[in-house]
Amino acid sequence: MNKKKWFSMLLMAAMCVLGFTSCSDDDDIGDNPDTPSEELADYTILLYGCGGSNLDEYLLFNLQQIEGMGYNEKVKFTGLVKFSKPYQNDEKRQGTRLFNMTPGGMESSQVADISFRLKDPQNLANFIVDAQKRMPAKKYIIIFWNHGYTFDKDDNLVLDSYTTGTRSLLQDDNTDETMSIFEIEEAMKRAENLGAQKLSLVYWDVCLMNMIENIYQIKDHTNYVMGSGHLTPGLGGNYPELINALSNNETLEDALREYVPVVLQMWRLTEGGDAMDLSVINTARLEPLVQGIGEYSQQLYNIMSKPNSQEALRISYVSGCTDEKRPFFATSSELYFFYSQRTSVDLISALTIMAHSYPGVNGTLSAIATKVRKALDDATLVKAYANLPWKLEEVGIGIHWMWTEDYEATVKNVYPHLAFDKVAGWSRFMANNPWRIVSLDTSTLEFSLVAVPTWTLSWSLVTPGGLTDKEQQSIGKYLDEILTPQYLSYHTQMQVEAAKRLASIINESIRQAIVRKITEILKETRPDSNTVPEFTYCLTLKSDDPSLDEYLIEITNEEIETN
C-alpha cells in the first residue's frame, strides 16, 4: 500500500541524531537481540499513526488508556505519532512525537518536525528497528492507527524518493499524504534487512483494511493480522484490554481469543447499530485460501468470457446489476459491501451467492466456494461481529469487487502488482466483468439485458465574477474529485428513476459539501475579507436521450458564509 537516493540518506542521518536507529553495524537487531540485564518483556507494542485531521481526541484517549494501565514489565509500549494541523500550536502536541511508557509514566518528546514523512518506508523501518533495540521483547506487535481505506487507485507502488504523496492508510494532513500497502510491505522488508525480528501481529486499528489483498501483501512479515472489514469506531480498540490479555495469557493466540470479543462488546455498548467486526488471520495458513480464490476466479473469467450467455447474465444479475436496483455499490447489490462508498465485499458470502443464486446455480462454483470457506475458517484464529443485516449470520474478510468500467478507471495499473493477484488472478475477472442492467423473466426464468440511457455529470463555471485563477483551480479540482468518481461511480447507465434520485442527492448533500468546500477555499485565499466575489457554478446531469429531462443545479456566491 527504493532505492536509497540522497534524500533517503539524509533521512537516515537525521534519524540517527534523533535516536530512531543506529548507524553502526554493531547495533543490528536479530531474533535474540542483546539486552540489558533485566529479563526480556513478553511483548513490545509499537503504535504508528497520526490524528488524521479529525481523530486526534481519540488518539489522545488511546494514549491515556495505555498510560492509565501503568508500566508493565511484560508488555512495553512505544509510539511514533503526529497530531493534526490544529494541534500544532500546542507545544505538547507539536511535530512528530515519540511516546514511551516508562516506570515513571508516559513520556512524550518531539523528535522531528511536522514535515517528517510517516509514509516513507524507511522511516517506518527505522522506527521498528529502533523500538526493538530500545525495548527488546520476545514478540513485537505494531498498531497502525488512523484512517484506513479499501485498496484503491492511490495505493501507489514504492517510489524511488518521497517528494510526492500517495494514499491509503495513515492520513497525515500536515504533509497531505498517506501510506500505501506496498509501502508498508517495503518498510517491513527493510526493517528485517536491518536486523529486526519478524512481527508477531499487525493490528489495523483503522477502517476497512481487512481485505485479502492487504493481508496477503504482508504475510511474510507478520504471523497474524488483526483488523476490521467495516468502518472502525473512532475510539478504536480497547488498549487496556489488549494489555491485560497479553499480560495474563500464556500465548499470543490465547490473548487474541480473549481480546477480540471484548472489543466487539465495547463497540456494541457505545457505537449504536452500525455493523462492525474484528478478526485475526493466521498468515501461515493463507495459501490454500488464495489458491481456492484463484480457482473461483478462473471459473468466473471463463463464464464472463461469453458475456451474453445466461450464466454470465446471471452473475451480473446477482452482483446487483438489475433493472430494480441503483448502480451504486453497497446500497444496491445482493453482495455484501462492507461500506457503501468502497469496493470491499465479504468474501465468503459473495462466492456463495454467485454459486447458489437461483435460477442457474453452478455446481463447480459451489464446490470451490466450499473449499474457500474451509480455508478461511482454518486461517481465522478468532472473529467477532455485531449488527449485521438480516441475511448475514457472519462476515469474514473482504475482497475487492469492481465492474470493468470501475476497474479500468481506477486500479488497473496497480492491482496486478499485488502479491495476491499474482497468485489468484482476480484482476482477470474484474477486467471482464462489465456493468450492465439485467432483467429476469420470472415466467421463463431467462435473463436479458435492459437498454438504459447513458448519463453524464459535469460542471461549469458560468459566471466567474471576481474569483482568481488560483481559486478557480482549487474549486475545479474539488469538483472533479467529488462528482464523477464518488457519485456516478463511473457508471454512466441509469434508469430514469435512478437519475432522478442522483439529481436529488446532488441538490442536497453534495451541494452542501461543495458550498462548505468553496467557503473553506475562500477563507484561505481571502482571510481578511468579509465579502464574497460573485460567481455561479452549474452542475448538469443529462442523458443521451433527448426526450429525457436534464437536471441543472446552480451554486452561487449567495450561499457562501462570510464570517
* Cβ atoms of 58 and 229 closer than 8 Å: no
* Cβ atoms of 184 and 17 closer than 8 Å: no
261 located within any domain: yes
pLDDT in the model for residue 260: 98
Q: Note whether 435 and 420 are same-domain residues.
A: yes
77 located within any domain: yes
Q: Note whether 62 and 186 are same-domain residues.
A: yes
Residue 128 dihedral angles phi and psi, to the nearest 5°: -60, -45
Q: Of 230, 260, 283, at which residue does a domain stop? A: 283
Dihedral angle sign, alpha carbons of residues 418, 171, 346, 224 = positive
Burial 325-339, CB ≥16 within 10 A → b, else e: bbbbbbebbbbbbbb
Report the CATH number at residue 119: 3.40.50.11970
Q: How far is CA 547 from CA 122, 257, 453, 503, in A?
A: 58, 61, 11, 17
Q: Note whether 463 and 432 are same-domain residues.
A: no
> Which set of grid coordinates corresponds to residue 72?
508493565
Q: Note whether 306 and 438 are same-domain residues.
A: yes
Residues 556-562: contacts with CB under 8 Å, at least 24 apart:
556/463, 557/465, 557/532, 557/533, 559/515, 560/515, 560/518, 560/519, 560/522, 560/532, 561/519, 562/530, 562/531, 562/532
Q: Of 399, 418, 449, at which residue does a domain stop? A: 449
pLDDT in the model for residue 169: 54
22 located within any domain: no
Q: Note whether 331 and 240 are same-domain residues.
A: no
H or E stretch at 276: strand 276-282
CA 518 to chain centre: 27
Total of domains in the chain: 3
Q: Of 424, 449, 474, at which residue does a domain stop? A: 449
Burial class (CB in 10 A: 0-12, 13-18, 19+), 38: exposed
The three-state secondary structure class of 260 is helix
Q: Note whether 254 and 330 are same-domain residues.
A: no
Give the number of other CB atoms < 10 A from CB of residue 62: 23
Q: Note whether 191 and 295 are same-domain residues.
A: no
What's the length of the chain?
563
Q: Note whether 228 and 167 are same-domain residues.
A: yes
Q: Which residue has the cell 524511488?
A: 160
Report pTM.
0.79
pLDDT in the model for residue 173: 60
Dihedral angle sign, alpha carbons of residues 385, 386, 388, 393 = positive
Query: Per-residue pLDDT for the chain (563 aa), expressed as one digit of tens each?
Result: 333 232 233 233 333 333 343 333 333 333 444 444 458 999 999 999 887 667 788 899 999 999 999 999 999 999 999 888 778 888 888 889 999 999 999 999 999 988 888 889 999 999 999 999 999 999 999 999 876 666 665 666 666 655 443 334 556 565 566 788 999 999 999 999 999 999 999 999 998 899 999 999 999 999 999 999 999 988 889 999 999 999 999 999 999 999 999 999 999 999 878 899 999 999 999 999 999 999 999 999 999 999 999 999 999 888 875 544 333 333 345 788 888 656 889 999 999 999 998 788 899 999 999 999 999 999 999 999 999 987 788 999 999 998 887 788 788 889 999 999 999 999 999 999 988 888 889 999 999 988 878 888 889 999 888 899 999 999 999 998 877 654 555 456 677 777 787 788 888 888 998 999 999 999 889 988 888 899 999 999 998 888 888 999 999 999 987 65
Of the candidates 483, 459, 425, 477, the residue with the CA atom closest to the CA atom of residue 535: 459
210 located within any domain: yes
36 located within any domain: no
Q: Note whether 244 and 223 are same-domain residues.
A: yes
d(CA 125, CA 15): 11
* Cβ atoms of 210 and 228 closer than 8 Å: yes
28 located within any domain: no
Q: Note whether 48 and 193 are same-domain residues.
A: yes
Dihedral angle sign, alpha carbons of residues 435, 291, 351, 260 = negative
31 located within any domain: no
Q: Note whether 161 and 275 are same-domain residues.
A: yes
Q: Give the list of residues 6+ apart from residue 415 with CB closer than 8 angstroms, or none.
A: 151, 213, 400, 407, 421, 426, 427, 430
Q: Which domain holds residue 429?
A: 288-449
For the chain, how are helix, strand and coil distributed in percent, rounded to 5?
Answer: 40, 20, 40
Q: Note whether 145 and 208 are same-domain residues.
A: yes
* Cβ atoms of 78 and 47 closer than 8 Å: yes
* Cβ atoms of 234 and 260 closer than 8 Å: no
d(CA 448, CA 533): 53
Of the candidates 445, 208, 412, the residue with the CA atom closest to the CA atom of residue 314: 445
* Cβ atoms of 118 and 15 closer than 8 Å: no
* Cβ atoms of 514 and 479 closer than 8 Å: yes
302 located within any domain: yes
Q: Which residue has the cell 486499528?
A: 205
> Which set of grid coordinates corresponds to residue 5?
537516493
